[in-house]
Amino acid sequence: MDFLDSPQCSPSLKQRHLQSWDFLGLDYYQQPSQQQGLLQKAKYGEDVIIGVIDSGIWPESQSFDDARYSPVPARWKGVCQDGLEWNATSCNRKIIGARWYSAGVSDEVLKRNYMSARDLSGHGTHVASTIAGGQVSNVSYKGGGLGAGVARGGAPRSRLGVYKVCWEGAGCDEAAILAAIDDAIDDGVDVLSLSLGGGAGVEIFGSLHAVLRGISVVFSGGNDGPVPSTVNNALPWVTTVAASTMDRSFPTLISLGNKEKLVGQSLHYNASVISNDFKVLVHARSCDVQTLTSSNVTGKIVLCYAPGEASVKPPRVALSDAIKLTVEAGAKGLIFAQNAANNLNDLNVCEGIMPCVLVDFEIAHRIASYWTRTGNPVVKVSPTVTVIGNRVSAPRVATSSSRGPNVAFPAILKPDVAAPGVGILAAIRDSYVLLSGTSMACPHVSAVTALIKSIHRDWSPAMIKSAIVTTSSLTDRFGMPIQAEGVPRKLADPFDFGGGHMNPERAVDPGLVYDVDAREYNKFLNCTLGLVDDCESYQLNLNLPSITVPDLKDNVTVMRSVTNVGPVEATYQAVFEAPAGVIMSVEPSVISFTQGGGSNTTFRVTLTAKQSVQGGYTFGSLTWSDGSTHSVRIPVVVRTVIQDFVADTS
């Protein structure tokens, strides 16, 4: 059966695919009346080779079945490295190569791990199946029915090269990462995906080796949000990904003894862990050891709600502590109040023990008020259900997604783009599990990068990155500005999601791209090493799909160039929104491309401070529009200063 024909006539057309790829508009099945979408144009990523540098892979997962795959591409030079519970047959025509790197890892740690490319934690398997997993029908969260549908990766016909550098108990060693990158280059990968990071300011400079060889490199942006200046992997030649929500939620009904019904979020799919009746409700406030002990919570459902202490502990730490202590105290359920969205995968530890439900402060206050007014307060937690579609406001930038500005290189905007990274259902071992974080967002961009690479084989990594960034969305499915979760929730800005939320179908035909000769990045590298002068001017004029001026005193002129990859005959008009407190001009304001003329043109953007003030960052944009099909937008970020190296700390 020819693969490209099968999706158009498949009898499984009505089965719903797992939500993130549907949400991004990457329809697997081409309707006869529809034009070919990105997936069909890219032949589903056929024979693009994606290197995944992570914690290994579980080769027996159905997501990596190699049925109906052609032989391994002849250009592949990689190996299938033997090890514990891994031999040459562990690779196939889907997982075409695997290596593992144990240098620097202690013997004690290695004894607790598979000394092979086999994945102990499941992280690398989850990432790999999100990128390239084949279709698997009738899957759901741990088989319990939540998020049910057909699992697949974004580039389901691509091939995988696996590089295990992360070990349970030891993290991901930088030397191992660098060795894996160099091996992946020699092996012949087209794209590298790295859902890892060492924190803000820790950079993998060796990733430039791959970009110099024409290999796109995609990194996760980190999970230290919503705190500013926490973004990881902030080098200009990589694509750095923020995490966003999608149009799926897991509401859980909370019934009070007074017949009031409230809703939280949970992963409580296993009704057998708690009888389906009312249990005594205890309000244990901060759920510290003393309060839990004095409240006698054994066999009861505990409400943890202490708004006065919300600023003392980060929400994820407070939730982790609450789960641990309530379980130890013998509780039969937890209702945890939060002022910012926690990741649902933080609730995985409750599985098989008791239901754990997240609620906001308003819901928690109503539960606490009922508890205070009632002599014998009781509560019932119903099994979680799945809600998808227009009833869920999405996307939003996830609370935990790390934010800019870029502490290491303030003139380089990071993150670059956002993609789904909350509640992503993908393979772990022989099951399918919901995980959240920029580690889950990164493989979405890696897969789309591979699809674009499949169509535009001659595009450089910078061109592909530009296409993704400049076509991203600023509005949600209802046309409302995308918001960023946090305390409080706010409108998202470039420090939250770079150019916006990834729109794959637009990215394949961007009209114009901001290209960079990869050798230019060597100058950037030399700047970081202090080997050249005038680095400030160089960084401002590096031809990135963004403009960031972190120290505008009076005025500055920034140069950019665009390459026409759309119709040969085209005219674009500059449409710009100046950052607050800044006068902005673009020269020329109209650019044209003609048959027989050049495909590149250069323009100048001049930014002038309206007042001399030590200010904060403000945001604007520049869009090149052809009036119909193409709208090529880059963010513009400016901070006015009076004196160097003095931040606005008001």
Q: Which residues are catalytic?
A: 54, 123, 439
DSSP 529: T
Task: Give the whole-angstrom CA distance, residue 347 versus residue 245.
Answer: 17
**Contacts with 628 (C-beta within 8 Å, 6 or more apart), sequence order:** none
Max Cα distance, the chain (Å): 85
CA distances to 111, 267, 345, 427, 564 from 435, rounded to whole Å, are 26, 11, 5, 10, 39
Read off the tokens for 335.
């209702």
The amino acid present at 368, given as its one-letter code, is A
Which residue intervals of 329-383 are DSSP H helices? 361-373
Task: Give the whole-angstrom CA distance, residue 193 versus residue 447.
Answer: 9
Task: Give the whole-angstrom CA distance, residue 92 versus residue 114.
Answer: 20
Are 190 and 49 in contact by the 8 Å Cβ rule? The answer is: yes
3-state secondary structure 193-238: EECCCCCCCCCCCCHHHHHHCCCEEEEECCCCCCCCCCCCCCCCCC
SS3 606: strand
Phi, psi of 179 (to 5 degrees): -65, -40
Please identify which residue in the block is written with the tokens 């409230």.
Answer: 262
CA distances to 37, 84, 181, 247 from 205, rounded to whole Å, are 35, 31, 11, 36
**Contacts with 264 (C-beta within 8 Å, 6 or more apart), sequence order:** 251, 252, 254, 335, 357, 358, 359, 363
Are 350 and 301 in contact by the 8 Å Cβ rule? The answer is: no
Q: Give the angle 95-97-101 at the CA atoms, nearest 5°.
A: 120
> Of 578, 575, 574, 541, which Cα lies nearest the Cα of 558?
541
> Of 154, 48, 36, which Cα lies nearest the Cα of 448?
154
CA 293: distance to chain centroid?
A: 40
Q: Classify burial at 420, counting beta carbons within 10 Å of its beta carbon; exposed 0-12, middle 13-18, buried 19 or more.
A: buried
> Of 622, 624, 501, 571, which Cα lies nearest the Cα of 20?
501
Task: Give the whole-angstrom CA distance, residue 335 versus residue 320.
Answer: 13
Read off the tokens for 617.
């960052």
Which residue intervals of 428-493 are DSSP H helices? 438-455, 461-470
Rounded (10°) angle between helices 438-455 and 461-470: 110
Task: Give the whole-angstrom CA distance, residue 391 versus residue 421.
Answer: 19
- Count CA atoms within 13 Å of residue 136 on its CB side: 25
- Strands of 34-179 (E only): list them: 49-54, 95-100, 136-139, 149-151, 159-164, 166-167, 171-172
Torsional class of 61: left (φ above 0), alpha (ψ -120 to 50), beta (otherwise): beta
Task: Give the whole-angstrom CA distance, residue 37 versus residue 39.
Answer: 6
